Amino acid sequence: MQVLHKEDFIQNISYDSVIFGFNGKQLKILVLEYHNTGLFALPGGFVRKDESLDEAVKKGVKERTGLDHIYLEQFQTFGNLTRSDPSVMKRILEENNLDLDVHDWLLDRFISISYYALINYDKVTPVPDALSDSISWYAIDELPALMMDHNQIVNRALQVLRNNLEKKLVGMNLLPSKFTMKQLQKVYEVVLGEELRRTTFQRRILGMNMLERHEKLFQGTAHKAPYLYSFKLEQD
C-alpha cells in the first residue's frame, strides 16, 4: 500500500470528481466503494505542493478512467466545517491497514474543489484507487448513499451540467464522434430529465449550425436509416 506523505501535499485541500458517462439510455457516474466498509464515495484526491490544481485533477481522473484529454470543468468549492468526518476517514485508513500516525493529516478538516468530467462511456476502463474494492457506474437516479457531502456534490454537478447544456456542447463529450440525431436527443433528455419533441429538437439543433452531416447509418432495422452527424470543430 502506497503511503501519502504529509510533506508532499497541500494540507486541508482535496478535490472530488463527478465523472459522467452515457450508455445510450441513462446518465451515469463513477462511484468508488472502499474496502470492507460499505462506504461509497466520489473519486477524489489531493494536490501536491508542486502541481497546479487542474493538473492534480486531470491526473486523478486519468487514473480512474484510463482516459486522457478529458472534458473537465470545475464547478464549486465546498468548505463547511461539518463536511469532514474524521471517524469515517479513520475507519477507511484502518480497514486499509494504513499507519494512522503517518496519515493523521487525512483526519483533518478538508476544503474540497469539485469538478465534473464528461467522457465517452465505451472508451473507459474504470480502475479503483488504492483504498477501494471497486469503481462502478451508477445511474444518476439510482445512486447509493455516498459518504460525507458527496450526494450534495453530485446534485450540484447535475444542476451545473443542465445549465451548460446549450453553451458547452455537453453532447460532444458524452457521445462517440459520429452519432444520430436520436442519440443526441437522448443525451439532452437524460441530462434535462424531460422528454423533448423530436421535430422541434431537430430543427433547433440543425438551426444552430453546429453539426456536420455524414453518410447514413444502416442499422439493419426495418425503417428509414438516419444520417450520422458530428460536431463541427469551427463554429461559423
Partner DNA sequence: TATTATTGTCTCAATTTGTGACAATAATAT
Partner DNA sequence: ATATTATTGTCACAAATTGAGACAATAATA
Contacts with a copy of itself by CB under 8 A lie at 10-13, 47, 49-54, 74, 76-81, 109, 111, 113
State the nearest-atom distance from the C-beta of 91 to DNA, in Å: 49
For the bound state, the minimum distance from the C-beta of residue 25 to DNA, rounded and expressed in Å, comes to 14
Burial code (b: 16+ CB inside 10 Å, e: under 16) for 143-152 equals beebbbbbee
Query: Among 2, 1, 96, 12, which Cα is nearest to 46's?
Result: 12
3-class secondary structure, 120: coil
| Partner from DNA, a copy of itself, none binding residue 143, C-beta < 5-8 Å depending on class | none
Please tell me whether residue 126 binds DNA under the rule CB under 7 A: no
Q: Which does 51 bind (CB under 5 to 8 A by kind): DNA, a copy of itself, none?
A: a copy of itself
Residue 224 binds which of DNA, a copy of itself, none (CB < 5-8 A, kind-dependent): DNA
Query: Contact region for DNA (CB under 7 A) — 20-28, 74-82, 120-128, 174-182?
Result: 174-182
> Of these partners, a copy of itself, DNA, none, which one is at the site of residue 74 (CB under 5 to 8 Å by kind)?
a copy of itself
Distance from C-alpha of 206 to C-alpha of 126, rounded to nearest angstrom: 34
According to the binding rule CB under 7 A, does residue 5 interact with DNA? Answer: no
Strand segments, DSSP code E, in 69-194 are 71-78, 111-118, 132-139
Residue 167: φ, ψ to 5° = -85, -20
Residue ranges in 177-206 that form contacts with DNA under rule CB under 7 A: 180-182, 197-200, 202-204, 206
Q: Which is nearer to a copy of itself, 134 or 159 (CB)?
A: 159
H-type helices in 41-107, by residue range? 53-65, 86-95
How many residues line the site for DNA (CB under 7 A)? 23
How far CA 31 is from CA of 64, 135, 164, in Å, comes to 10, 5, 23
Nearer to DNA by Cβ, of 74 and 202: the residue is 202
Contacts of 215 (CB under 8 A, 6+ apart): 227, 228
Task: Say which amino acid occupies 10.
Answer: I
Binding site for DNA (CB under 7 A): 180-182, 197-200, 202-204, 206-207, 216, 218-227
